[in-house]
Amino acid sequence: MAANDKPLNEVVFLTVAEVAAVMRVSKMTVYRLVHSGHLPAIRVGRSFRVPEQAVHEYLRESYVGVESA
């Protein structure tokens, strides 16, 4: 079973503040990523929750490796 196929009761959701701490960016940067569609999120009332796995996938895809000479 792939991580994206987890039942919802097994998905770990993070707050915007928690995502910002993990990524070491500001909360505004996280909001921009959510609003632009780069980071999936669900809305709970007036706040957002981001699946933890989505954060890890975003970071993995955004990783810029340094090539050795």
Any idea what the CATH number is for the domain that residue 32 is in? 1.10.1660
* 56 falls within a domain: yes
Model's pTM, two decimal places? Answer: 0.80
Write out pLDDT tens, residues 49-67: 999 999 999 999 988 766 6
- Supply the pLDDT for residue 16: 98
Tokens at 5, concatenated: 């196929």
Q: How many CB atoms lie within 10 A of CB 25?
A: 13
Strand partners, 14: 50
- What does the pLDDT average to over 38-56? 96
- Supply the pLDDT for residue 57: 94
The DSSP element (H or E) to which 22 belongs, if any, is helix 16-23
Write out pLDDT tens, residues 2-27: 446 777 788 899 999 999 999 999 99
Question: What's the farthest any 2 CA atoms get from each other in the chain?
Answer: 51
* 54 falls within a domain: yes
* 1 falls within a domain: no
